[in-house]
Chain A
Amino acid sequence: MTGPTTSPLEPVLEARGLRKQYGPLVAVDDVDLTVGPGEVVGLVGKNGAGKSSLIKVLTGAVQPDAGEVLLAGEPVHLRGPAEARRRGVGFVHQELNLVEQASIAENIALGGGLPRRAGLLVSWGALHQRAQTLMEAVDIGHLDPRTRVATLTPVQKRQVMIAAALWHPPTVLVLDEPTASLSEHEVVVLHGIVRRLKSRGTSVLYVSHRLDEVIGLTDRVVVMRDGAVVDSEETTRLDKGRLVAMITGSAGQDRPTHLRQDPGAEIVLDVHEVSSDRMVEPVSLQVRAGEVLGLAGLVGSGRTELLRAIFGADSRRTGEVRVGGEVVGCSPSASLRSGIALLSEDRLHGGLVTGFTINRNITFASLARFRHARWLPLPSGRRERDRSRDLSADLAVKAESVDAPVMSLSGGNQQKVLLARWLSTEPRVLLLDEPTLGIDIEAKTEIYHLLHRLAGEGFALVVVSSEFPELELLCSRALVLREGRVVAELEGADVTETALLHHCFDGAGSPA
């Protein structure tokens, strides 16, 4: 491991011993980081390695628990993004957060305060003039600053966001995945802008999953893993293979024993050429009884969209889904009737009914099974509780009682409650979107063993995960998605973290 390389000149942005903790989770772990004047620093790491958390601290969006941020060698206390901007730290979010109905000029001035005439009225002339200058700096000088943002292309919107970050001339500009949703051609445009900023002396902290551009664009690369900076290296000394190894952490991590098993012969889930409006192109896949199929890919690669299209949560544009040979209608209720259940990625948004008890969250998707009498749609509280108690015990939900509010549980136990909900519908196919997201190690292990057991009982499982070690652990087969397309299929012993990562990152490096 190389120590942090210091730049010859005094750094414009420096972090010393930065630490940010969310409950037991250490998101940023004693991070030291420097960005020299005019330097382009790449920040890379897996999903959840702590890049976003670090950026939030650096740009004043959250306050560090320990450590300090220095600007031009001077310790500063950034109370918020606005203050960070004023002090010369510009930031462009990964998400496109523009006011679609407002003009380019209004969006550019949004965070900076509109120029006023006599301190009161907006001086539109001055605003448009200023906006035009900034737009030229980001290669959209040919557009009218009065254009509504809603009419722009994705890359133009990205350019508007960068122009907005230049409103207060930054000494250092943080770009978080600026090319995530852009095509190759548009990426080139963006890189041109970054090089121009650099030539004018602006430093850039560039966060990206695309290793090619990190190598082509940056002067130095900082690698994060599990919240800590684990490597910092001059880009000229790196190649993609090396970078993948640094990101993965080639050093031996303790791996739990493999939980894979051989699938049965019967094809339970047959997805043929399915696509939705949110997907790039149709995808086909088959899952056998007892099989755990992994869907790997980076955030935004279209895994969630695929699961939602299979389940009928998004309406399908093409294709059909069969379970046990029977065609399944395109709606959540049709899928549930046919034995498909979807554990959605976001426990709160698409999962828990926060006002309900544990019991009612479990029985809620299969309520008709708990009637007093078959013909009477009145749920029997006693039957519901019996079922909830059985499932809670089976999944080892740690709670005082099934009548406790579901929000009184920890994340892992909430996830088990949701699994119990879907198991209560007696599915044959379980689609699991990030089943271990944001839960502790112990609960993760329990969920691994549960999924392993379910596969053994003949369920067909599809697991989406950004944590590739868990796919390596569980899956007998895995598909890799990149930018909405299936780019690789791995089977058996080939499903390794390294191979998955290799296919996720532009097919870079050589799989070990």
Chain B
Amino acid sequence: MDAPDVTDLDGRPRRDEEHAEPVTVDAGPGRGAESPARRPRRRLTVSQAGLVLAYVVVVGFFWSQRPDVFASWQTWRGILDASALPAIVAMGLTVTLIAGDFDLSFGATIGLSMAVTAVLLSTHGWSWPAAALVALACALAIGVVNGVLVTWANVNSLIATLAISSVVTGLDAKVSNQQTISTGIPESFTDLGTTRWLGLGVSLWVAIVVGAALYLLVSHTESGRYLFATGGNREAARLAGVRTRALRTVGMVACAVTAAIVGVLLCAQTASYYPNAGGGYLLPAFAAAFLGTALGGGRFGIAATAFGVLFLQTLQTGLTVLNVQPWAVSVVQGSVLAIAVIVSTSGQIRLPRLGRRRAVRA
């Protein structure tokens, strides 16, 4: 995973790059020729390096305790498979967070889209692509409603999405009659939960595709730049002609649609619908996104969030393998998150001072 890349969007001071002289001198067209890449090298900050290091230490610890388990590809495939769904929705949430808003409704959206899919498949005998499309359309509508409430009606996003969460939970209960649905779901659909391409599950491939698409959107398009600007300084973005309301709505829609993707895939994986399926995704997604900020130098990023999911899932799997009690797993994960966020917000001490001195000597 090319995690440090996400810091690209608005990096730290990059004093170790080639163009150390003042811009006023540097502006001549000839200069660029000396460094054809022209792309400044990045420096790792304490928190960035710290998080990667922490991951290596965690993995090393688990490995030393249970080499038999952690040397096995099966274990790692299990971690990746378990990361897929949380990663999809956490990356969608990241888009919302980048635009400066919160979304507390995606847990409910996961539940509703799962219910819609299951009911259309089992009760109405629809084909699964049609059922999935309806679920995605519902999520789109939820995202737009969230966006309208937050941007046009100026409701605080925490409150608006909390309210919508309640509405969506109600709709979920209506659609599903609050019954577990486990019959009549066609095999062609549940195969999605078991099929592997090149050794990886369908969900993981979906996560990779969604992640790549969101990464491109956020880090390489004009809209992505505007998203960051909107989250960073909304008034400045507006005065620069950015349609901040539309963009914030896009952020809300991104989160809702990824939630629906998770709902559909969850329905396929479990070959069923069961109540309260989505709630468990809410906090881990926020945790992963904020853990990712430790990697992104205090900023959200798609790849950083994916890394955050992987980190938390590795901890979970590792601790489970070591027979740690579930309560302790929660305590450890929570502590790791708190420490990481503290380090990322206060850790302005930058490692590469060392690197710089070395460079001078060389």
The answer to whether A336 and B13 touch across the interface, beta carbons within 8 angstroms, is no
**Chain A residue with the shortest CB-CB distance to B229:** A353
The answer to whether A399 and B235 touch across the interface, beta carbons within 8 angstroms, is no
The answer to whether A400 and B20 touch across the interface, beta carbons within 8 angstroms, is yes
Instruction: Count A interface residues, CB 8 Å.
Output: 50
Q: Produce 1/0 per residue, B1-39, CB < 8 A to A.
A: 000000001111111010111111011000010000011
The answer to whether B24 and A356 touch across the interface, beta carbons within 8 angstroms, is no
Q: A210 at the A/B interface (Cβ < 8 Å)?
A: no
Among B12, B22, B39, B225, the residue within 8 A (CB) of A364 is B225
Q: B68 at the A/B interface (Cβ < 8 Å)?
A: no
The answer to whether B23 and A402 touch across the interface, beta carbons within 8 angstroms, is yes
Q: Produce 1/0 per residue, B193-230, CB < 8 A to A.
A: 00000000000000000000000000011110110110
The answer to whether B222 and A403 touch across the interface, beta carbons within 8 angstroms, is no
**Chain B residue with the shortest CB-CB distance to A334:** B241
Among A352, A378, A390, A396, the residue within 8 A (CB) of B236 is A352
Among B10, B235, B242, B243, the residue within 8 A (CB) of A356 is B10
The answer to whether B10 and A360 touch across the interface, beta carbons within 8 angstroms, is yes
**Chain B residue with the shortest CB-CB distance to A388:** B23
Chain A interface helix/strand/loop/mixed: mixed
Distance A355 CA – B21 CA, assembled complex (angstroms): 22
Q: In the complex, what's the smallest C-beta–C-beta distance from B146 to chain A, in angstroms?
A: 23
Distance A429 CA – B341 CA, assembled complex (angstroms): 45
The answer to whether B238 and A405 touch across the interface, beta carbons within 8 angstroms, is no
Assuming the contacts A353-B228, A405-B12, asked whether A378 and B220 have C-beta atoms less than 8 A apart, the reply is: yes
The answer to whether A357 and B222 touch across the interface, beta carbons within 8 angstroms, is no
Assuming the contacts A356-B10, A405-B12, asked whether A364 and B24 have C-beta atoms less than 8 A apart, the reply is: no
CB neighbours of B222 from chain A (8 A) = 367-368, 371, 377-379
The answer to whether A354 and B232 touch across the interface, beta carbons within 8 angstroms, is yes
The answer to whether A399 and B221 touch across the interface, beta carbons within 8 angstroms, is no
Assuming the contacts A332-B241, A378-B220, A408-B13, asked whether A353 and B23 have C-beta atoms less than 8 A apart, the reply is: no
Among A348, A368, A399, the residue within 8 A (CB) of B23 is A399
Interface of chain A residues 401 through 434 with chain B (CB within 8 A): 401-405, 408, 421
CB neighbours of A358 from chain B (8 A) = 23
Q: Produce 1/0 per residue, A171-201, CB < 8 A to B.
A: 0000000000000000000000000000000
The answer to whether A400 and B22 touch across the interface, beta carbons within 8 angstroms, is yes
CB neighbours of A348 from chain B (8 A) = 233
The answer to whether B11 and A336 touch across the interface, beta carbons within 8 angstroms, is no
The answer to whether B243 and A385 touch across the interface, beta carbons within 8 angstroms, is no
CB neighbours of B32 from chain A (8 A) = 386
The answer to whether A403 and B40 touch across the interface, beta carbons within 8 angstroms, is yes
The answer to whether B236 and A351 touch across the interface, beta carbons within 8 angstroms, is yes
The answer to whether A352 and B241 touch across the interface, beta carbons within 8 angstroms, is no
CB neighbours of A342 from chain B (8 A) = 239
CB neighbours of B237 from chain A (8 A) = 353
Q: A350 at the A/B interface (Cβ < 8 Å)?
A: yes
Q: In the complex, what's the smallest C-beta–C-beta distance from A376 to chain B, in angstroms?
A: 9
Q: B240 at the A/B interface (Cβ < 8 Å)?
A: yes
Distance A378 CA – B221 CA, assembled complex (angstroms): 4
Q: A382 at the A/B interface (Cβ < 8 Å)?
A: yes
Assuming the contacts A332-B238, A401-B40, asked whether A356 and B228 have C-beta atoms less than 8 A apart, the reply is: yes
**Chain B residue with the shortest CB-CB distance to A356:** B10
Q: Produce 1/0 per residue, A313-338, CB < 8 A to B.
A: 10000000000000000011101110
Distance A313 CA – B241 CA, assembled complex (angstroms): 9
Assuming the contacts A353-B237, A393-B27, asked whether A404 and B22 have C-beta atoms less than 8 A apart, the reply is: no
Q: B248 at the A/B interface (Cβ < 8 Å)?
A: no
The answer to whether A389 and B26 touch across the interface, beta carbons within 8 angstroms, is yes
Assuming the contacts A379-B225, A401-B17, asked whether A353 and B236 have C-beta atoms less than 8 A apart, the reply is: yes
The answer to whether B24 and A396 touch across the interface, beta carbons within 8 angstroms, is yes
CB neighbours of A397 from chain B (8 A) = 23-24
The answer to whether B240 and A421 touch across the interface, beta carbons within 8 angstroms, is yes
Assuming the contacts A352-B233, A353-B233, A404-B13, asked whether A393 and B23 have C-beta atoms less than 8 A apart, the reply is: yes
**Chain A residue with the shortest CB-CB distance to B26:** A389
CB neighbours of B19 from chain A (8 A) = 400-401, 403
Q: A349 at the A/B interface (Cβ < 8 Å)?
A: yes
Q: A365 at the A/B interface (Cβ < 8 Å)?
A: yes
Distance A321 CA – B226 CA, assembled complex (angstroms): 27
Assuming the contacts A350-B235, A355-B299, asked whether A398 and B240 have C-beta atoms less than 8 A apart, the reply is: no
The answer to whether A364 and B240 touch across the interface, beta carbons within 8 angstroms, is yes
Q: Which 8 A-B pairs have the closest CB atoms?
A: A393-B27, A333-B241, A365-B240, A392-B23, A336-B241, A389-B27, A377-B222, A355-B10
A337-B241, A360-B9 known; 5 new pairs, CB 8 Å cut-off, are A332-B238, A333-B243, A354-B232, A355-B299, A356-B10
25 pairs, A vs B, C-beta closer than 8 Å? A348-B233, A349-B235, A351-B233, A354-B232, A355-B228, A355-B232, A356-B229, A360-B9, A364-B229, A368-B222, A377-B223, A378-B221, A379-B221, A381-B39, A382-B38, A386-B32, A393-B24, A393-B26, A397-B24, A400-B23, A401-B40, A403-B14, A405-B10, A408-B13, A421-B240
